[in-house]
Amino acid sequence: MEWEHKSLSYGDVARDENGEVLFAYTGSRGARSVMYQELKAIEQGLHKCKDFLVRKLVVVSDSLKAINALNSKENASWETNRAADY
């Protein structure tokens, strides 16, 4: 079966130190790369954390490439740089 990606989406959940949900969100940015979606999800989460006045946080992702891009261990394409630079 061949998959056509006309649109990709992302979503995430933020929890406090006790595991309680602070907020959850989803979004879509059209048919861009998976890496872009991963970094966009992290970027949106950081914005939400700022809105909730979260001062300390740990970013967790199932994408090692996204984490490496955030830690400047891996180059991101030009379209993902904005999210990685946040």
pLDDT in tens, 11-67: 888 998 899 999 998 887 666 678 888 888 888 899 999 998 988 888 888 888 888
Asked whether residue 71 is assigned to any structural domain, the reply reads yes
Predicted model pTM? 0.68
Residue count (the chain):
86
Asked whether residue 85 is assigned to any structural domain, the reply reads no
Number of domains composing the chain: 1
Nearest to 10 by CA among 18, 79, 30, 85: 30
pLDDT at 21: 93
Asked whether residue 56 is assigned to any structural domain, the reply reads yes
Distances, alpha carbon 75 to alpha carbons 26, 35, 42, 85, in Å: 25, 11, 17, 11
Question: Among 28-32, 55-59, 71-75, 77-81, which is the least confidently predicted range?
Answer: 77-81
d(CA 65, CA 74): 7
Write the Ramachandran bin of 53: left for phi over 0, alpha for psi from -120 to 50, otherwise beta: left
